[in-house]
Amino acid sequence: MPAAIEVRKVPIHSVADASELTKLIESGVMDAGRVIAIIGKTEGNGGVNDYTRIIADRAFREALVAAGAPADQVKEIPIVWSGGTDGVISPHATIFATTDAEPSDEPRLTVGFAMSEQLLPEDIGRTPMIEKVADAVRVAMSRAGIEDPADVHYVQTKTPLLTIHTIRDAKSRGKTVWTEETHQSMDLSNGCTALGIAVALGEIEMPRDEDVMHDRSLFSSVASCSSGVELDQAQVVVVGNATGVGGRYRIGHSVMKDALDQDGIWEAIRAAGLDLPERPRTSDLEGRLVNVFLKCEASADGQVRGRRNAMLDDSDVHWHRQIKSCVGGVTAAVTGDPAVFVSVSAAHQGPDGGGPVAAIVDLG
C-alpha cells in the first residue's frame, strides 16, 4: 500500500527562489527525503525558450539536496513546471511528500510516478507516442495503488516538444516529423500525450494518426499536459484517491465547458469532498482548498458563449497568453488566491474551448 501524502502550496518569491520549500522542511512539515513530486508555475514566457523552468527546477532540487535528501534520489523526482504567469496568476509550487498516517477506509490522496520509453522526434504527434504515454500512465497508476481508472482525478505530464535540433536529427535518420514549427509542436506534444492518458484510463479507444489535433471530440477529462526541451521521455504523475492510505487530503475533478465556466471549478472542489452551498462563495472554502489545477484553450470557433473574440487572429500577443490570463482571472475569482495552476495548450484535454479542472482539499 502506498504511503499517505502531505501536500502544500508555497509561493515563489523570485525566479530562483525555493526558500518556502526549505521552510516546510525546517519546520518539520515535510522530510526532504520523502518529497515525491513538485508541480508549479514559473514566470517566464511559457514558450519553447522559457528558461525560467530550468532555473526553478535547479533551485528546488538544490534545496532538497541541501536539506539532506540524497542527490541521486532528488535527480529522479518528477518536477513539472508550467511557464507563464500571465495576468494575476502568481508563481508558486505544489509539493507532494509521503508521510506517516493511520490507514483509513475513506478515499484519500495518493500519487504515483512513471517515465515512458524514450520519445523520438518522429513519435511526437503520432500513435507510438500515444502508446508509450498510455503504458507509463498504467505503471504510475499501479504505483499509486489505484486499480479503478475512475479513482484517477489528475494526470500531470511533461513531454518533449520539437526543436530545430531534434527535427534535424529525425531527418538525418530518414524520418519525418509531424510539424517543423517548434511552437506548434508544444500544442501537438500536449494533445498527443492527452490522448495517451485517455486511452490508458479507458476514456477513448485507441485513435488513429489522423485524429491527433483534428478530432477534438476525443479528449481526457483528467489530463494536464505540459511540454518542454528538458527531457526526451514522458514524465507522468498520476494523482487520485485510494482507500487504506490514510491522510488528510482528497482530490476531485470536473471540466470547464468554456473559459468563463466558474461552475466547473466549483464542481471539482465539491467532487474532492467539500460540502458547499448551491451558490458558493470564496469564503465557503474556509482555507481548506490546497490548490486547483486547470488546462485552458482558446475555442477553435473564436467565440465564447456566442460572442466573438480576436485571440486567434491577434498577431501581437499569442492566444496562449491571452486565454491563460483570462482563465487565471476567472479561477482566482473563485479561489480568492491568484496562486493557481492554470496552464495553456489544452488540445484533447477537456472539451474544445474548455479544459479539465482538478482540486485538492484538506479534509482535516
* Residues taking part in catalysis: 158, 226
Q: Is 240 annotated as a binding residue?
A: no
Q: Is 46 annotated as a binding residue?
A: no
Give the Å distances, CA to CA, from 340 to 19, 53, 93, 248. Answer: 19, 17, 9, 21
Q: Is 291 annotated as a binding residue?
A: no
Q: Is 297 annotated as a binding residue?
A: yes
Q: Is 83 annotated as a binding residue?
A: yes
Q: Is 27 annotated as a binding residue?
A: no
Q: Is 349 annotated as a binding residue?
A: yes
Give the Å distances, CA to CA, from 18 to 15, 230, 302, 339. Answer: 9, 20, 39, 15
Q: Is 226 annotated as a binding residue?
A: yes
Q: Is 202 annotated as a binding residue?
A: no
Nine-digit cell at 187? 500544442
Q: Which residues contact 136 (CB under 8 A, 6 or more apart)?
A: 114, 115, 116, 117, 196, 234, 236
Q: Is 277 annotated as a binding residue?
A: no
Residue found by looking up cell 510539424 in the block: 179
Q: Which is it for the CA torsion 64, 103, 139, 213, positive or negative?
A: negative
Give the Å distances, CA to CA, from 344 to 71, 84, 321, 324. Answer: 32, 9, 8, 6
Q: How far apart are the first and last CA of the chain?
A: 21
Q: Which is it for the CA torsion 316, 319, 322, 324, positive or negative?
A: negative
Single-letter amino acid, residue 282: T
Residue found by looking up cell 541521486 in the block: 72
- Phi and psi torsions of 56, nearest 5°: -65, -40
Q: Is 14 annotated as a binding residue?
A: no
Q: Is 356 annotated as a binding residue?
A: no
Cα–Cα nearest to 88, from 344, 294, 353, 340: 340
Residue found by looking up cell 472542489 in the block: 269
Q: Is 343 annotated as a binding residue?
A: yes
Residue positions in the annotated binding site for Mg(2+)? 297, 346, 349-351, 354
Residue positions in the annotated binding site for substrate? 53, 82-83, 190, 226-227, 324, 343-344
Residue positions in the annotated binding site? 53, 82-83, 190, 226-227, 297, 324, 343-344, 346, 349-351, 354
